[in-house]
A and B are shown apart, each in its own frame.
Chain A
Amino acid sequence: MQDSITVSTDPSVRYLLRLGDTCLVHAQRLGEWCGHAPIIEEDIALTNMALDLIGQARGILTRAGQLGGQQFDEDQLAFLREERDYLNPTLVELPRGDFAITTVRNLMVAVLLELLWTRLQASTDAEVAAVAGKAVKEARYHHRHAADWLVRLGDGTAESRRRIEAALHRLWPYSRELFQSDAIDDAASASGLGPRWAELRDPWLAVMRDALGAAGLEMPAETAFLSFGRMGIHSEHMGHMLAEMQYLQRSYPGGAW
């Protein structure tokens, strides 16, 4: 079996891994809908989105692998790290759940990424800025698509309403983690690599409030619960997801098609 790699603790690398892993893990969960979505059109829409996110992850992981004195390619970073070296927020690794869970999570993540990519277009790292320029258009569409579904589920049948409310209350506590600042954010902010995610909290809440309002839903109150995926401390679901995601590269090193 292929051995794990050890990733640099350089704050720029860590900052980019948080972003790249958010895209990668979110895409992995979205890809699980392939063949299982409630309708064929949405099956295609969800996997389109997953592919957009994989493309974004590739760009960011490629760059992360070049910094901090390391030389890892996107595949090594995507498939050969230990669980603790993945720095995605816990939100994206939670099981895909039903279509309501996916819709709420898609919206939460798309709004976050849209705000992040918008800021990252001005990154002092030219490669990150280039990825951001392309990704911001994709995130804009992901945002719209999820917001439109939110309205239809929130303002649909009694059953869709019950499910979307349950999904919102299940996922909301995981939003708090997104906007916690630490030394990694401080370093990125100081070097101009990218903004502290905490700076995006107010605009994120404003956009979410509008989207929820349009769907007749109330924004849940902030909870005391705090997750730590961005620190590499994950939920019990992460290991199972990685086992499936890494299986091929671990068993057949360098395998490609």
Chain B
Amino acid sequence: MNPTEKTEATTSSREEWPLWEVFVRSKAGLDHKHSGSLHAPDAKLALEMARDVYTRRQEGTSIWVVRSDQIVASDPGDKDMYFDPMEDKVYRHPTFYKLPDEVNHM
């Protein structure tokens, strides 16, 4: 989205500003991690507010903001079907396998 593009929510002062999810990278090489969310009228101000709210104590070197309504989430009702089948697949963890003593540095 164009950072200065007006969002629907700014067209009426009675409506709430959209919600944004904030992701902060703490230092180069690490992943951006979810820090929280905030309301902002558009992408550019969302970035500035994220800077002011979530990086006040040197938490960040880079910020992403994403409109919360653009995130597609799994349904909590699908939890059993989605995640329980993995419970008994211990062989998917590398620790399941015994390495011969001759193999070093693993």
Contact = CB atoms under 8 A, between A and B. Distances in A.
B48 A159 contact: no
A156 interface: yes
A159 B41 CA distance: 16
B13 interface: yes
A145 to B, nearest CB: 6
Nearest to A39: B39
Interface in B39-55: 39-42, 44-45, 48-49, 52-53
Nearest to A144: B48
Interface stretch (A42-50, A126-134, A186-194): A42-50
Given A48-B56, A148-B44, A152-B41, A42 B13 contact: no
Size range of the interface on B? 10 to 19
A41 B41 contact: no
Nearest to A42: B49
Contact of A156 (B10, B40, B52, B56): B10
A157 B53 CA distance: 26
A159 B12 CA distance: 12
Contacts of A152: 10, 41-42, 45
Contact of A148 (B13, B48, B52, B53): B48
Contacts, number: 31
A45 B52 contact: yes
B66 interface: no
Interface residues of A, number: 15
Interface in A43-100: 44-45, 48
Contacts of B38: 41
Contacts of A159: 13
Contacts of B44: 148
A148 B44 CA distance: 8
Nearest to A48: B52
Contacts of B13: 157, 159
A187 B42 CA distance: 47
Interface string B23-41: 0000000000000001111
A145 B53 contact: no
Contact of B45 (A48, A148, A157): A148
Interface in A136-171: 144-145, 148-149, 151-152, 156-157, 159
Central interface residue in B10, B13, B48, by most chain A CB within 10 Å: B48
A97 B83 CA distance: 55
Given A48-B56, A148-B44, A152-B41, A41 B10 contact: no
Contacts of A145: 48
B13 to A, nearest CB: 5
Given A157-B13, A159-B13, A41 B49 contact: yes
Interface of A: 39, 41-42, 44-45, 48, 144-145, 148-149, 151-152, 156-157, 159
Given A45-B53, A145-B48, A157-B13, 15 more contacts: A39-B39, A41-B49, A42-B49, A44-B52, A44-B56, A45-B49, A48-B52, A48-B56, A144-B48, A148-B44, A148-B45, A152-B10, A152-B42, A152-B45, A156-B10
21 contacts: A39-B39, A41-B39, A41-B40, A41-B49, A41-B52, A41-B53, A42-B49, A44-B56, A45-B48, A45-B52, A45-B53, A48-B52, A48-B56, A144-B48, A145-B48, A148-B44, A148-B45, A148-B48, A149-B45, A152-B45, A157-B13
